Amino acid sequence: MSKIYASSLAGKEIVTVEGKVLGQIENIIVEPESGKLIDLVAKPGSELPRSMYRGEGKHILIAFSAVCAVKDYIVVDDAAARAR
Q: Which domain holds residue 29?
A: 6-82
Q: What is the pTM of this model?
A: 0.87
Q: How many domains does the chain have?
A: 1
Torsion angle (degrees, nearest 10) of CA 27, 23, 76, 7: -30
Residue 1 has pLDDT above 60, yes or no: no
Which helix H or strand E contains 27, and what residues bound it?
strand 21-30
- CATH assignment of the domain containing 78: 2.30.30.240
Q: Which of 1, 61, 57 is nearest to 25 (CA)?
A: 61
Span 51-70, pLDDT tens digits: 889 998 899 999 999 999 99
